[in-house]
Amino acid sequence: MAELFDTVLCANDAPMSRSDLAAAMAACDVLVPTVTDIIDAELLENASDRLQMIANFGNGVDHIDLHSARKKGIIVTNTPGVLTEDTADMAMALILTTPRRFIEGDKIIRAGQWPGWSPCFMLGRRIGGKQLGIVGMGRIGQAIARRARAFGLSVAYHNRHRLPTSAEAETGAIWCDDIDQLMAESDIISLNCPLNNDSRRMIDARRIAMMKPTAFLINTARAEICDEQALAEALEKGRIAGAGLDVYSDEPNVNPRLLALPNVVLLPHMGSATHEAREATGDKVIANIRTWVDGHRPKDQVLEGLI
């Protein structure tokens, strides 16, 4: 990026402060934020007319007020596709790890508390033969479905639009137009939809209560899709069997109720944390900027209302 443009780089790996964001938006033509840089309506309204593009480093854009950006005439781009396989790998790891209690087992070994093998020690739940319910069947949801088939899971999914027949055949996934039915029938629920006005708290206390007491919830998308307090209560009271989470409502702080539970696997928002994904993300950001500089519409422009 520095070879192609007059570039100002952040000196560290921390989120930008609000004042730093405001200063950058006053001085640059293109801003390259990450998911932790909250760009709200006030910042955009006060942005310099010089700012013409926000080239987001990442796929999700729920941290950017798209409506205000459009009103200001600012193009917003993201980096779809580059995080798909890595995020799907981690989601599949949580689907395997959480029911089988692998993290609990590791902790017991490290604490020197293993009493030795016995027939009733550390019993988990079998994966093969169970139903995986995927909420959000975009790139990542489909990649998870392909992996799930190899482990003997049947896959059902709920999405805003039904997939083409060819995609259903490739993933082996069955369309479920009623999310309540999916929640009630699935042994594992994986959340993989984007965060927007329709999906915010879509998995609320009512829907969590529909889940089987032996079911598990996996969230590698956005914390706000699920009511975190309702989830914690259901886990505390044994209404569902467990959860595997990579996202939290107050990151980097984690709900103490979740921290106290042994049946929850907690990861530090690392779904896309591979060297390859980060490099590919940067390449896409640069490609979007170069396309715009050359006077063309960037391939990955985000349109309000389509996320």
Q: List, by residue number, the catalytic residues.
A: 222, 251, 269
CB 106 within 8 A of CB 161: no
CB atoms under 10 Å from CB of 257, counted, come to 15
* Ramachandran class of 183: left when φ > 0, alpha when ψ lies in -120 to 50, beta otherwise: alpha
Measure Cα distances from 248 to 124, 216, 253, 267 in Å: 25, 17, 8, 10
- The span from the CA of 242 to the CA of 213, in Å, is 9
| Distance separating alpha carbons of residues 18 and 37, to the nearest angstrom | 8
The residue with tokens 């593009």 is: 53
Long-range contacts of 247-251 (CB under 8 A, 24+ apart): 247/219, 247/220, 247/221, 247/222, 247/223, 248/223, 249/223, 249/224, 251/36, 251/223
What residues does 55 pair with on adjacent strands?
A: 77
DSSP for 62-125 reads: TTB-HHHHHHHT-EEE--TTTTHHHHHHHHHHHHHHHHHTHHHHHHHHHTT------TTTT---
